[in-house]
Amino acid sequence: MEQLTIEKFEEAYNIVRQAAAETKLVYSDYFSEQTGNKVYLKPENMQVTGAYKIRGAYYKISTLTEEERNKGLVTASAGNHAQGVAYAAKKFGVRAVIVMPTTTPLIKVNRTKSYGAEVVLKGDVYDDACEYAKELEAKEGLTFIHPFNDLTVATGQGTIAMEIVKELPLVDYILVPIGGGGLATGVSTLAKLLNPKIKVIGVEPEGAACMKASLQEGHVVTLPTVNTIADGTAVKTPGDKLFPYLQKNLDDIITISDAEIIGSFLDMVENHKMIVENSGLLTVAALKHLKPEGKKVASILSGGNMDVITMSSVIQHGLILRDRIFTVSVLLPDRAGELARVAAVIAEQQGNVIKLDHNQFFSTNRNAAVELKITVEAFGTEHKEKIVKALKDKGYKPKLTHANL
């Protein structure tokens, strides 16, 4: 427990500034009004590598001996840590081998390569890649850089808390995402050293709440499975080297559903024009779980590395969850003009038809009924209900179905 000292954090703060941006807090009028607290966003998604991981990687490499660096570095990661190590290695002018799962999106592979790292694709998941990275460490004598279970890496990540307190000395709450626990360890430990009154709240996805389970049991536990769209925090086992610090310094843990993450993505895009990856949105979703007391809350947006396909899927699901896109089924007699009549009812309510599915074979008696599925864009739940009521009033007996995009 003596390794994470204020002196080490100060050292890390000065070293990390050589590579990482000092991301300035962004006051959020929108989230402040929504939650009844004064909300400040810490946009680590704006880092040069798109995530906070550059901090821990750069500080860790700075503490290695010349011999350790010159051997070359190796790590395993499917995203942010890979880019952090690759970028830091480039800054130090040393070799880096990054083992990534074969399922890693091409954009992340190419971005890691762009920093000069050698990328090896191995296995289907992180654990497979990590096992192979360890083999390379032994075979080639490389120096392994762990993504989170390393106190030096955690010290580098903790420089985020230094920046928050410097800019917002009277901060009441800091919300921090938790995967393996490196970021939360650094932030919570330094925050308590600087001001014990600061409450540090860890935030995990419901489908990968390994830290909550571990704290409840009083020791590190491994989840049997994880299932969440927050892939950057989809960790089965938290870091055992970090656990004592988190036991001591975390004030609470909030768990977040995938649906809440999806809604937060829309909020960030529409109100702050920022792309934040699913794991980085955990702290945004957690804002609504705090009591509205006018407190100063810093919400750490841990990263913004998100591929376009995932982004598209999250937006579509978010619009559906918020009733801004819905599909309604109506039965019509197969007569000319019926489609136009239904469209007119929706248009009168300012609904925007984005898709039609006209099924003439719904019934053997086409004159009795054909099915029309209409996918509509609306302003939200109230507007959706208004459109459905208008269709009912015209005698169409609308039935809501799964949104069909």
Structure-token pair, residue 208:
């990968």
Give the residues across from 120 on adjacent strands. Answer: 99
Q: Report d(CA 281, CA 299) in Å as an integer.
A: 9
Q: How many of the other CB atoms lie within 10 Å of CB of 51?
A: 26
What are the Cα distances from residue 168, in Å, to 146, 189, 283, 285? 31, 17, 18, 21
Residue found by looking up tokens 């649906």 in the block:
259
Q: Report d(CA 316, CA 281) in Å as an integer.
A: 17
Catalytic one of 8, 38, 42, 53: 53
Burial of 355 (0-12, 13-18, 19+ CB in 10 A): middle
Contact status, residue 238 vs residue 180, Cβ threshold 8 Å: yes
Catalytic one of 188, 264, 302, 329: 302
Q: Report d(CA 205, CA 283) in Å as an integer.
A: 10
Burial 171-189 (b: 16+ CB within 10 A, else e): bbbbbbbbbbbbbbbbbbb
Nearest in space to 28 (alpha carbons), one of 14, 17, 42, 18: 42
The letter for the amino acid at 46 is M
Q: Report d(CA 403, CA 405) in Å as an integer.
A: 6
* Residue 98 falls in which region: left (phi positive, over 0), alpha (psi -120 to 50) or beta: beta
Would you call 214 a catalytic residue per the annotation?
Answer: no
Would you call 273 a catalytic residue per the annotation?
Answer: no
Sheet of 38-43, strand order? 26-27, 38-43, 296-301, 173-177, 199-205, 252-256
Q: Which amino acids are annotated catalytic?
A: 53, 302
